[in-house]
Structure 1
Amino acid sequence: MGLIKEKPRRTSMQAKFVLSISILLLCEPAHSQQDRQRRVGFIGNGGVTQSTAPYMDCFRSAQKKLGWNEGENITTIYKWANGNAGIIPQLVKELKDANVEVIATGGTLVTQNVAELVKDTPIVFAAVSDPVSSKIVTSASRPTGNITGQSNNLSATSRKILEYIKNINPSVKHMALLRNPNNDGKLIEENEIMNSAVDVGINIVKVDLVTAKDKDAAFEKIRLSMPDALLVLHDFAALELKKALSDFAIENRIIAAAQLKEYATSGALLSYGLNYCRHFERVSGYVDKILRGAKPVDLPVEYPSSFELVLNLRTAEALKLTIPASTLTQADELIE
């Protein structure tokens, strides 16, 4: 019978060495995952302007707070449709060629198009009024597929804006509604406005604004309709014209109202709606979660928990309007 040779036993020093190497190998993927350069894409409905830049600053600031430093461990590639849905396929291709891991989108129109084109990369949307009605997701509580995000839910502001207008000036009977007819989100908000207008006794004339080039035609239609008030449904073209819209309204003795604070700070009498800086911070939070391993299906679509009322008292004085104390006390901010 041959001798059975025993396997040489490891010394305690050898065992410690093997254990150390094993730990390093186990930890290496997580370490490289955090330190390697991550790539995120963003496609916005508008363009790079003074109006959109602050929102991107908020997005980047939130990224930094979450540990993502641009140029160090993350690269964000921005693309802008400038209101032209026809170029979105090319923008998507450019992001895919850049091997982005997540695509963030801004606006209903862009999000709808990107969702149709991209099925294998997570998408996080912003500034979508009603993602279910717009057929972006089938369920807000448990979105299926590769998409989730933050709804601005601006349609929920409709009735309240009309009530604020009537509280400030009960004689308002006729209102111009400025909207982009090519944006499904605006059409959803428009339906809410039309239903609420009947209840508060306001007649509405619709005015189209697709791009800034439509300004003169839109202003002329408003003049001819001789409204008591103008309600601006937020869209990238309207945002670019916010100062011109406010000046036009004051010049023509019209109460101007809108859905974002930026319109009121530019001279509209009031705004009631979302804080867009916080909105884009929340979007950045969802991008962060996905980069760290979360799936869109595990991230319910979020809706804003509150809206802000901003009143421009300088404009009220210019229009010789006295804002009731009951409305003043509800304001989150007064511009004096």
Structure 2
Amino acid sequence: MKRTASPLRITAAMAVLAVGLTACGDSGAGDGNGDGNDGPYKIGISQLTSHPALDATAEGFQEAFDEAGIEVEFDLQNAQGEVATANSIANTFAGDGDVDLVASIATPAAQAAATAVKDKPVVFMAVTDAVGAGIVEDEEKPGGNVTGQSDRNPVKEQLQLLLDVKDDVKTVGIVWNSGEANSKSQVEQAKEAAKELGIEIKDVTVTNSSEVQQGVQSLSDVDGIYVPTDNAVVSALESVISFGQENEIPVISADTDSVERGALGTYGIDYEQHGKLAGEMAVKILKDGEDPADMAVGFAPEDALELVVSPENAKKFGVEIPQEVIDRADETID
């Protein structure tokens, strides 16, 4: 089945999607939380940057309200990859008395929201390690005004996919942003998994997406490349894909959307579904009055993980995906 990215759906039930930073309003939580009505509510969404996985997350989050029949005004702000801008967005939402709930997409945006917003609920998405990033105290019982959905990946299974495709892999390269706590967590997981799989990890750090092309050049001696859910690297994925194709080094990704952009495959999260699960948490907070402090951080259920492969992409790296792998794939992209 060929996957296609769906456009962001804004329905009548969603009311208005406001774009552009708004002026600060009165401090304090918005009206109407937990009273069992169907809105209208105002939700501020802080998205760290734009790439297909995060865009799908934002779409899924909003779809949850559409399906619940709740009227919402969404104020979607994009930090364009800048942490300082994410901090500014969080502070704006914190001071806007009309905002009932703040949603954040990606770890730096969630860290900014957790720091700035204290008197209204915060729901995060696309965060790998919420405790390690200092966003919540405990995954089972967050204990504050913040909860959400983690996109922690099955890193070992993803690396195993690379071995299933190319059984002579000895060293796997990873480029990651040293400023993203989620990426550090994934690299640590990869190194632990590598020990069990009998391979080595060679990692290279960058500080922003513009450094990715240079960083990947130092991986010419590896047998495969793994792209974690690192926002800087995924934003510059095409440079990693091009390097892999030129040097016949297969590239696997941690997110399914990156397969559409050239990676040979992954066993990963459907980010639209990931965002929808977070949206359902937000619905429970706003409509049903549930307390984020008592809402455990969510993780992708096994049936939300997908094995997605692209035989055509694999050929561009000089490898062939075994038929056995294709047969068990949930989706095959031509």
The verdict on a shared fold, with TM-score over 0.5 as the criterion, is yes
Larger helix proportion of the pair? 1
Q: Which has the larger radius of gyration?
A: 1
* In 2, Cα distance between equivalents of 1:170 and 1:140: 36
The Cα shift of 1:193 comes to: 0.5
The answer (yes or no) to whether the contact 2:250–2:318 under 8 Å persists in 1 is no
The answer (yes or no) to whether the contact 2:58–2:105 under 8 Å persists in 1 is no
The Cα shift of 1:76 comes to: 1.1
* In 1, Cα distance between equivalents of 2:200 and 2:54: 32
Q: Provide TM-score, normalisation by structure 2.
A: 0.82
The Cα shift of 1:284 comes to: 1.1
The Cα shift of 1:112 comes to: 2.0
**How large is the Cα RMSD of the aligned pairs?**
2.2
The answer (yes or no) to whether the contact 1:176–1:229 under 8 Å persists in 2 is yes
Q: Partner residue of 1:212? A: 209
Q: Partner residue of 1:253? A: 248
| Runs (5+) with no aligned partner, structure 1 | 1-28
The Cα shift of 1:35 comes to: 6.2
- Name which of structure 1's ranges 54-63 and 177-186 shifts more when overlaid on structure 2: 54-63
* In 1, Cα distance between equivalents of 2:156 and 2:266: 13
Q: Partner residue of 2:37? A: 34
The answer (yes or no) to whether the contact 1:179–1:234 under 8 Å persists in 2 is no
Amino acid at match of 2:124: F
Match of 1:290 among 261, 282, 285: 285
Match of 2:229 among 213, 234, 246: 234
Q: Partner residue of 2:299? A: 303
The Cα shift of 1:316 comes to: 2.4
3-state SS in 1 of match to 2:299: coil
The answer (yes or no) to whether the contact 1:51–1:240 under 8 Å persists in 2 is no
3-state SS in 1 of match to 2:233: helix
Q: Give yes or no for the alignment of 1:149 onto 2:151.
A: no
| Runs (5+) with no aligned partner, structure 2 | 1-31
* In 1, Cα distance between equivalents of 2:331 and 2:128: 24
- Once the two structures are superposed, the pairs formed by residues 292-331 of structure 1 within 5 Å of their partners are 292=287, 293-306=289-302, 307-331=305-329
The answer (yes or no) to whether the contact 2:244–2:317 under 8 Å persists in 1 is no
- Once the two structures are superposed, the pairs formed by residues 124-203 of structure 1 within 5 Å of their partners are 124-154=123-153, 157-203=154-200
Amino acid at match of 1:84: E
Residue correspondences, number: 298
Q: 1:232 to 1:36 in 2, by over 3 A?
A: closer
Q: Give yes or no for the alignment of 1:222 onto 2:219.
A: yes
The answer (yes or no) to whether the contact 2:175–2:212 under 8 Å persists in 1 is no
Q: 1:282 to 1:79 in 2, by over 3 A?
A: same
Higher-RCO chain (CA-CA 8 Å, sequence separation at least 6) = 2
Q: Give yes or no for the alignment of 1:104 onto 2:111.
A: no
Q: 1:242 to 1:116 in 2, by over 3 A?
A: same
* In 1, Cα distance between equivalents of 2:145 and 2:72: 21
The Cα shift of 1:215 comes to: 2.8
Amino acid at match of 2:213: D
Q: 1:174 to 1:50 in 2, by over 3 A?
A: closer
Identity %: 24
